[in-house]
Amino acid sequence: MTVLNKPFNTLYNTAPFSKIKNEDFLPAFKAAIEKAKNEIDSIVNNSETPTFENTIEALDYSGEELDRISSIFFNLNSAETNDEIQKISQEVSPLLSEFSNDITLNEELFKRVKAVYDSKDDLKLTTEQATLLDKKYKSFSRNGANLPENKKVRLRAIDKELSQLKLKFGEHILAETNKFEMHLTEESDVSGLPEGAKEAAKQLAESKGKDGWLITLDYPSYIPFMTYADNRALREKLSKAFGSKGFKNDELDNQNIVLKIANLRFERAQLLGYKTHAHFVLEERMAQTPEKVNAFLNELLEKAKPAAVKEFEELETFAIDLDGIEQLQKWDSAYYSEKLKQKLFDLDDEKLKPYFKLENVINGAFTVAEKLFGLKFEEIDTIDKYHNDVLTYKVVDAEDNLVSIFYADFFPRAGKRNGAWMTSYKPQMIKNGMNERPHVSIVCNFTKPTKSKPSLLTFNEVTTLFHEFGHALHGMLANTTYPSLSGTSVYWDFVELPSQILENWCYEEETLKLFATHYETGEMIPMDLIEKIKASATFHEGMQTLRQLSFGMLDMAWHGTDPTKITNVKAQEVEAFGETQLYPDVTENCMSTAFSHIFQGGYSSGYYSYKWAEVLDADAFEYFKEQGIFNKTVADKFKTYVLSQGGTEDPMTLYKKFRGHEPKPEALLRRAGLIK
């Protein structure tokens, strides 16, 4: 028995990272799967009449050990992986997919679930219990429980293959990201780069025994170079390297994987009686149908495109006037946008960064959470962590009750995938009369401190930290009975509301005064800079909106149609981008082959939800603005109806309880400056 299969005798029942060895995982998974199977068997073999308690509730509480091991393992595979862990994930994923199918295709178990479901009108269930029953029944019916045997066999095979393909996709992207290095030795090559970015690139080169500077595809290296480097040819080289991940017809190529995933998802949907994968997915979303999603995207496109085209033409004229650029290309986008922004607003990220020392921004986020929701964060060093960079906190409420354990992991490293995300190591639930509190984590990739400077964030990174922290609050403040309905276990197009709404506070003077102080002098961020941040908030909003819409449309092009005739990934993508394209296409580049959100993560048929949730968050934040951004009454309502309810009730019902009406898209268009 491994350390993972025993009770963790640790403070707050936290994961014992330092005691876990890689070789523990496979046997731990196998033992936990056996244990979970026995728990399922005892539900199936119960001689009593199926009831909500002995069937639905028992099912939701089953597999707790397996879930815990899975969350530890797959979080490490994202944040601290290595060849060994990746190899184990390829062995474990099919086992988990098989086990999941063993449950949903278990006829005797389904009979019991169906018996409870069919008698639901006679049961006096709470809203949460009714939701759980509905969800459990659908988890069977939507995963093949009503299929004949031969189709069940095919479904199992599809699920097994998909789980492996998604992992392979992600491994290729991580390997591509780690493989590329741009080694620069001439001072002129790094002309334009801010001092902090140069120092970080120099330190990276030194760490690998090289002179000069090293630029990589990790965001803290890639973004500053694309934004500030004067050398256009080097920007082009870096941009093409970034945009061609998984698209080089080599051993890390993802084109066939993309086609296979799209086709398997389509076949799976058809087996289950749905027109496409998107029809299957959206049945369990606020948006409900692909038609509604496409209408939503097209409505925003109609409003945003004129603004985007105008912004693009202005940028083109600016680049011609400044440097005589004949044709604006993708690798010019961030560079000239930044120059134009500086000209229009006299606002430079480098002027802002000294006011956004990472530690101060973290404390700012904590202060906002305290003012809104009464939470207090205390750093503790008595719990185990999986890497020295990780910070650990105990979160308590005003009465000093434990709310959550919080992990924060901020810097890039070789075993960590790019981007930023929130996750959890232990869910919240109420079991045997005990309210088990969650263990929540956020992972980001910010610039590391250098010898001379602490970690200083761009304003964009400040909003990223607040975004992920918003997800974390959704996890921390969970207060539901059942684990599968807890925290962020909500409809996918609702899950971004808590994260996106929190970004709004970053633009408010009242918030910035809490934490934006100069890391050397301690002086408060000047008012004129705050004004400029607010004024520039809608800069190039048309182009930004078009970009987000293009990703949503690409997602729907893969998942909302029959993909069986698609043979060329790039051609499919070019067609999908038709209505949103501003820059000339780059032949060597392809987004789909590195679109991890939809081919590795959980966003397939769901990328539109970022924009969907923006409508929710703009509408919700207008409420805060009307009453005061730290208004206790509004904050309490948001906590009660949005943050603590998880997936216990239909999200639109919860939203209306908080806001008093359905969200209005005009709030988003107003905030974006796209309508007056």
Q: Strands 439-443, 402-409: parallel, antiparallel or unpaired by DSSP?
A: parallel
* Cβ atoms 22, 88 nearer than 8 A: yes
Tell how far CA 588 is from the center of its chain.
27
Q: Which two tokens stand for residue 84?
A: 């060994």
Angle (CA) 252 332 202, round 5°: 65
How many other C-beta atoms lie within 10 A of the C-beta of residue 602?
A: 11
* Cβ atoms 334, 226 nearer than 8 A: yes
Catalytic residues: 468
Tell how far CA 514 is from the center of its chain.
27
**Matching residue, tokens 């398997």:** 264
Q: Quick one: DSSP state of residue 480?
A: -
Q: Which residues contact 207 (CB under 8 A, 6 or more apart)?
A: none
Q: How many Å apart are CA 340 and CA 573, to the nearest integer?
A: 30
- Tallying the residues shown for the chain, one arrives at 676
Q: Is 13 exposed, middle or buried (0-12, 13-18, 19+ CB in 10 A)?
A: middle
> Phi, psi (5° rounding) for residue 62?
-75, 160
Q: Which two tokens stand for residue 108?
A: 């005797």
* Residue closest to 276 by CA, chosen among 559, 554, 556: 559
- Sign (positive/negative) of CA torsion 517, 518, 522, 527? negative
Three-state SS annotation for 19-58: HCCHHHHHHHHHHHHHHHHHHHHHHHCCCCCCCHHHHHHH
Q: Which two tokens stand for residue 51?
A: 């009831």
Render 253-310 in DSSP notation, one character per residue: --HHHHHHHHHHHHHHHHHTT-SSHHHHHHTTSSS-SHHHHHHHHHHHHHHHHHHHHH
SS3 label, residue 393: strand
Q: How many Å apart are CA 365 and CA 376, to the nearest integer?
A: 11
R_g over Cα of the chain: 25
